[in-house]
């Protein structure tokens, strides 16, 4: 599992390793050692896979990924995710598996979870392979209360925490949020609300011998499936996968969000959330500021085809 992404091998330490998940290397090591000891695992030789959001660590001796929730995460949120994933596993839903240990483990008020490590081929999951699992997810009735999906609220929360952009730029982002919130109030949704993954994309799914499984359940919520569908479309368009990738996804899912009248508004809101989330995290992700600025300038120009670099 990556930092809010897939459970796969993403290579050696990154430049941001020292502050992965908001933790220094020594803090991260302390939490990892204690959490692993609590469930009988050996943490020696472990290495960081990703640290953009959560600190995601691969153990050396067993095919286990340890996820230290980002600093400030609510313990109740992580516990809810564990409960949901266990239920998904029990009903045979294609999800990455939690280890059969008592979790989350809490170390100094930080939540730690343990997942099965799935080595991945070089080719990422194709968009069309997301269609079946997402359709199945959108058809499920959750066994527990989930938070309501609210992109606008998330955008405003991120904007309030931005520290590395000039005030006029932050004001521009806030103005975009205001206009899009007004547009959203006029939208008539087509699909039935239900469980949504919140951030379905190529890197939040994994290959297995039996097919594709979803992972990264941090953003799971109750909401309109249109939000998940537009997220897949954005990733195909913005990150170089191409329009045919999305077309195959829509064909496999059986409904094309781009043909729906609310598509343009939802796409702009979802893209604004992606931009503001990364803008908020700039301090923990050295080198990302220029890409954030480039995306914002693309929004100013109305450039819907600008290719984004993955952060």
- The answer to whether the pTM exceeds 0.85 is yes
Q: What is the pLDDT of residue 18?
A: 52
> In the numeric block, which tokens belong to residue 179?
């206009």
Q: What is the pLDDT of residue 246?
A: 98
What is the tally of structural domains in the chain?
2
Q: Where are the alpha helices (DSSP H) in the chain?
A: 25-38, 75-90, 127-138, 151-160, 167-184, 225-238, 243-253, 263-280, 289-301
SS3 110: strand
The helix-helix angle for 225-238 and 243-253 (nearest 10°) equals 160
- pLDDT at position 27 over 50: yes
> In the numeric block, which tokens belong to residue 246?
């999305």
- CATH number of the domain bearing residue 164: 3.90.1200.10
C-alpha span between 275 and 31 (Å, rounded): 30
Longest dimension (CA), the chain: 55
Same domain for 133 and 31: no
Same domain for 281 and 132: yes
In a domain, 121, yes or no: no
- CATH number of the domain bearing residue 65: 3.30.200.20
In a domain, 270, yes or no: yes
* Domain boundary pick from 116, 147, 175: 116
Other C-beta atoms closer than 10 Å to the C-beta of 87 total: 15
pLDDT level of residue 274 (50, 70, 90 thresholds): very high
| Cis check: omega of the bond before 175, within 30 degrees of 0 | no
Same domain for 162 and 75: no
**Residue 182 is part of which domain span?**
127-301
The percentage of residues in the chain with a pLDDT greater than 70, rounded to a whole number, is 94
Q: Which tens digit of pLDDT belongs to each residue from 99-121?
A: 999 999 999 999 999 999 999 99
Q: What is the pLDDT of residue 3?
A: 33
C-alpha span between 98 and 206 (Å, rounded): 14
Same domain for 188 and 78: no
The candidate with the shortest Cα–Cα distance to 7, out of 114, 123, 101, 80, is 114
**Mean pLDDT rounded to a whole number for the chain:** 92
């Amino acid at each position: 599992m990556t930092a809010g992404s897939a459970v796969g091998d993403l290579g050696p330490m990154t430049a941001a390793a020292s502050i992965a998940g908001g933790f220094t290397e020594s803090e991260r090591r302390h939490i990892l050692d204690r959490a692993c000891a609590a469930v009988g695992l050996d943490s020696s030789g472990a290495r960081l896979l990703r640290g953009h959001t959560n600190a995601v660590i691969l153990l050396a001796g067993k095919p286990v990924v340890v996820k230290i929730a980002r600093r400030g995460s609510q313990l109740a949120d992580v516990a809810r995710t564990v409960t949901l994933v266990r239920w998904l596993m029990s009903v045979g839903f294609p999800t990455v598996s939690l280890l059969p240990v008592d979790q989350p483990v809490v170390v100094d008020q930080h939540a730690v979870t343990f997942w099965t490590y799935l080595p991945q081929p070089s080719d990422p999951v194709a968009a069309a392979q997301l269609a079946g699992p997402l359709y199945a997810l959108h058809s499920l009735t959750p066994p527990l209360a989930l938070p309501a999906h609210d992109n606008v609220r998330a955008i405003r929360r991120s904007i309030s925490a931005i520290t590395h952009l000039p005030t006029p730029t932050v004001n521009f982002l806030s103005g975009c949020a205001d206009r899009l919130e007004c547009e959203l109030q006029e939208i008539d949704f087509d699909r039935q609300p239900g469980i949504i993954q919140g951030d379905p994309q190529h890197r939040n799914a994994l290959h297995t011998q039996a097919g594709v499984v979803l992972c990264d359940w941090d953003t799971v919520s109750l909401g309109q499936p249109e939000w998940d569908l537009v997220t897949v479309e954005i990733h195909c368009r913005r990150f170089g996968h191409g329009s045919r990738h999305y077309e195959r996804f829509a064909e496999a899912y059986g409904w094309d969000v781009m043909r729906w009248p609310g598509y343009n508004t939802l796409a702009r809101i979802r893209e604004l959330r992606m931009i503001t989330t990364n803008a908020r995290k700039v301090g923990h992700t050295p080198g990302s500021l220029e890409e954030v600025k480039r995306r914002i300038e693309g929004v100013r120009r109305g450039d819907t085809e600008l290719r984004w670099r993955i952060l």
